[in-house]
Amino acid sequence: FALDLASKVLPFYAEYFNIKYPIAKADQIAIPDFASRAMENWGLITYREIALLIDPKSSSLTVRQRNAMTISHELAHQWFGNLVTMDWWTDLWLNEGFARWIQYLAVDRFYPEWDVWTQYVADVFSQFLVLDALKSSHPIEVP
């Protein structure tokens, strides 16, 4: 599943951004008990096992969707975060924001039946609206 998806997502991003993936390969490695769900590195993405590997016989649709989102997100960081890096840490939201958006575009491209944009509105965008309405809300970048 992961290899199949990655082999589609990398060329999709290269075409979409009109920038070829500049290195020879992109390795994906599953690590038992990895502290994060995943971490992008230039040419090497490390994943907690449950974020990369699925059991074709028993993994639920939810697990497949979550893993597809994670894989697409981390591959997006090969462009947003590695090829193009923010000027300073206060701009990290740009890397994460672009990667979050483009992961939905990629997953929708290869699994349109999942209707991920509806999920985006229900799960992600609605959370943003709730957080933005808090009295403690502040601009994305605070000097």
| Cα(112)–Cα(110) distance, integer angstroms | 6
Please compute the mean of the pLDDT values over residues 57-70 and round it to a whole number: 95
Residue 122: inside a domain: yes
| Cα(77)–Cα(95) distance, integer angstroms | 7
| pLDDT per residue as tens digits for the range 113-128 | 999 999 888 888 888 8
Range of the domain at 98: 2-132
Q: Given a cut of 90, is residue 85 above it in pLDDT?
A: no
Residue 139: inside a domain: no
- Annotated active-site residue 74? The verdict is yes
Q: Cβ(78)–Cβ(62) under 8 Å?
A: no
Structural domains counted in the chain: 1
The pLDDT value given to residue 108: 98
Q: Cβ(21)–Cβ(7) under 8 Å?
A: no
Residue 137: inside a domain: no
More confident residue, 108 or 25: 108
15, 49, 74, 96: the catalytic one is: 74
Residue 94: inside a domain: yes
Please report which confidence band the pLDDT of residue 22 belongs to, taking 50, 70 and 90 as the band edges.
confident
Residue 141: inside a domain: no
More confident residue, 96 or 15: 15
The domain that holds 90 is classified in CATH as 1.10.390.10
Residue 34: inside a domain: yes
Residue 140: inside a domain: no
| pLDDT per residue as tens digits for the range 26-50 | 999 999 989 899 999 888 999 999 8
Residue 142: inside a domain: no
In SS3 terms, the chain reads as: CHHHHHHHHHHHHHHHHCCCCCCCCCEEEEECCCCCCEEEECCEEEEEHHHHCCCCCCCCHHHHHHHHHHHHHHHHCCCECCCECCCCHHHHHHHHHHHHHHHHHHHHHHCHHHCHHHHHHHHHHHHHHHHHCCCCCCCCCCC
